[in-house]
């Protein structure tokens, strides 16, 4: 059978395994779109596929460990010459050609700036192993129309990549490169396209979204955000991740003034001690960070905040650690992402003496997570009896009789309903909770349009 030149992968099956953050997930969706546009079909397991892509994260050592463990399990498949195995993403960019010697089953590697070439790379590996890790100073656009979205209701929209900050623990500037900004027109065109497909929620993505500047006009992020709110059909808008040192009043006021922008913000603090923040080269003090928190809460008392925490950073004393615990209590985060410090290649902190013993790191992480668990349970109990707006994402994975979604604060809400609300907003009365999710039931006449729901809804629907 002759394969069409416009679909050179026709008759081939692919499988993508993703490790890492939302950016990695979005990258996988974009690569999947390019593969399917070239004729390949997706399958659910690597065993059934002709093309296996492992999309990776290098931010933490644990992510790398997962990659090599997964590749080990695939080694018997890679030896079959009818299969192509590739590693993409941050680990591919960081280790480059050395990956071939670490695992012989790998046929190609591709860094984040090389995804547009993914089909050609796959076609060329029949001749020899291929490494594509060239940098680009400009935005590398991949047509958004072909993206294969994992979620039919909520979608990521990447607006920038890379980082100029060089925090001492972070490898991102070496794996994603310097900051590159996507033109405003392309961002708005993609959001309009998603709206035409029926998407209700978008999440604007970037390593530092609040550093965004339109490459053509210099337009700042808060202005882009305002323009996105003007697009009909999209009802919830989120953005991740913001850097505290680049946060400003324009962004806080824009969030407050626009109903479509969710009262939810991820603002990574990393540590609650000024001495640790200084060694991390974060560019702000704890007091400056708390000023932003106070401003946000004064404008939006119902805002849900989340953050990142690293424990056991070189030089972190017991006193430093307890300052971080105090910060959790003071802010009252809805959620945190917490990790033990691990040295990363090329980062400045990788040259520091890793002075905190592993057992101490483990102990501190457990203590921190137990504290946050208590905070979340306390907060969630206060939500029992309330009715809140939830975007239904489908059936619960644990119980097909239960539906699952997220509220405006990006909390998981599992609920009972007498009909399928998937893809729609639904009003849910919270009946019980755990530390990590809320449980409830859809109220009568629960399906509403945005015009009937605003940010005061939750408080106005309290149980008598």
| Count of C-beta atoms within a 10 Å radius of residue 39 | 16
Same domain, 84 and 171: no
Q: How far apart are CA 333 and CA 413, in angstroms?
A: 17
- Statement: residue 51 has pLDDT above 70: yes
Domain CATH code at residue 113? 3.40.50.12160
Q: How far apart are CA 141 and CA 128, in angstroms?
A: 27
Q: Which of 101, 132, 163 is the last residue of a domain?
A: 132
Q: Which of 380, 397, 416 is the last residue of a domain?
A: 380
**How many domains are there within the chain?**
3
Token pair, residue 329, equals: 């209590």
Same domain, 164 and 266: yes
- Average pLDDT estimate for 126-132: 81
Domain CATH code at residue 425? 2.40.50.140
| Structural domain boundaries, residue 427 | 387-460
Of 400, 401, 403, the closest CA to residue 437 belongs to: 403
4 located within any domain:
no
Question: How does residue 212 score in pLDDT terms, banded at 50, 70 and 90?
Answer: very high
CB 163 within 8 A of CB 173: yes
Tell me the CA distances in angstroms from 254 to 154, 160, 237, one per residue in order.
22, 19, 12
Same domain, 368 and 291: yes
Same domain, 33 and 152: no
Q: How far apart are CA 271 and CA 390, in angstroms?
A: 32
Segment 163-178, tens digit of pLDDT? 999 999 999 999 999 9
Same domain, 195 and 344: yes
Segment 213-233, tens digit of pLDDT? 999 999 999 999 999 999 999
Highest mean pLDDT among 77-81, 150-154, 444-448: 150-154
- In this predicted structure, what is the pLDDT of residue 230? 97
In the chain, % of residues over pLDDT 90: 76
Q: How far apart are CA 332 and CA 324, in angstroms?
A: 12
Q: Picking from 3-7, 64-68, 278-282, which range would have the lowest pLDDT averaged per residue? A: 3-7
7 located within any domain:
no
């Amino acid at each position: 059978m002759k394969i069409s030149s416009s679909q050179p992968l026709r008759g081939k099956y692919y499988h993508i395994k993703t490790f890492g953050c939302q950016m990695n997930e979005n990258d996988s969706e974009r690569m999947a779109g390019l593969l399917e546009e070239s004729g390949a079909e997706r399958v659910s397991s690597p065993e059934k596929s002709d093309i296996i892509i492992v999309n990776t994260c290098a931010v933490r050592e644990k992510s790398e460990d997962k990659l090599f463990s997964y590749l080990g399990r695939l080694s018997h498949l890679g030896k079959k010459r009818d299969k192509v195995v590739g590693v993409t993403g941050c680990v591919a960019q960081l280790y480059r050609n050395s990956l071939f010697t670490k695992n012989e089953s790998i046929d190609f590697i591709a860094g984040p700036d090389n995804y547009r070439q993914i089909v050609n790379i796959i076609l060329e590996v029949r001749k020899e192993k291929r490494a594509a890790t060239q940098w680009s100073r400009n935005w590398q656009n991949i047509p958004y129309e072909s993206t294969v979205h994992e979620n039919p209701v909520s979608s990521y929209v990447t607006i920038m990549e890379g980082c100029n900050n060089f925090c001492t623990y972070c490898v991102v500037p070496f794996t994603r490169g310097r900051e590159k900004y996507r033109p405003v027109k392309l961002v708005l065109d993609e959001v309009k396209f998603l709206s035409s497909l029926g998407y209700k929620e978008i999440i604007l993505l970037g390593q530092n979204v609040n550093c965004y500047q339109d490459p053509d006009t210099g337009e700042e992020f808060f202005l882009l955000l305002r323009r996105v709110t003007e697009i009909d059909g999209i009802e919830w808008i989120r953005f991740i991740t913001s850097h505290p040192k680049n946060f400003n009043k324009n962004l806080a006021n824009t969030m407050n003034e626009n109903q479509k922008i969710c009262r939810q913000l991820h603002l990574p603090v990393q540590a609650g001690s000024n001495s640790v923040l200084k060694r991390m080269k974060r560019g702000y003090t704890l007091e400056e960070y708390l000023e932003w928190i106070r401003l946000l809460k004064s404008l939006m008392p119902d805002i849900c905040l989340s953050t990142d925490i690293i424990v056991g950073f070189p030089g972190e004393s017991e006193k430093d650690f307890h300052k971080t615990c105090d910060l959790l209590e003071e802010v009252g985060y809805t959620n945190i992402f917490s990790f033990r410090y691990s040295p990363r290649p090329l980062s400045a902190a990788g040259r520091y003496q890793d002075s905190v013993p592993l057992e101490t790191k483990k102990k501190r992480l457990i203590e921190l997570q137990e504290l946050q668990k208590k905070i979340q349970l306390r907060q969630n109990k206060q939500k029992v009896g309330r009715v809140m707006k939830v975007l239904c994402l489908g059936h619960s994975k644990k119980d097909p009789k239960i539906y699952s979604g997220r509220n405006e604060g990006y909390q998981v809400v599992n609920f009972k309903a007498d009909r399928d609300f998937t893809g729609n907003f639904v009003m849910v009365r919270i009946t019980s909770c755990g530390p990590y999710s809320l449980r409830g039931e859809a109220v009568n006449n629960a399906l509403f349009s945005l015009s009937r729901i605003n940010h005061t809804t939750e408080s106005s629907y309290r149980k008598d």
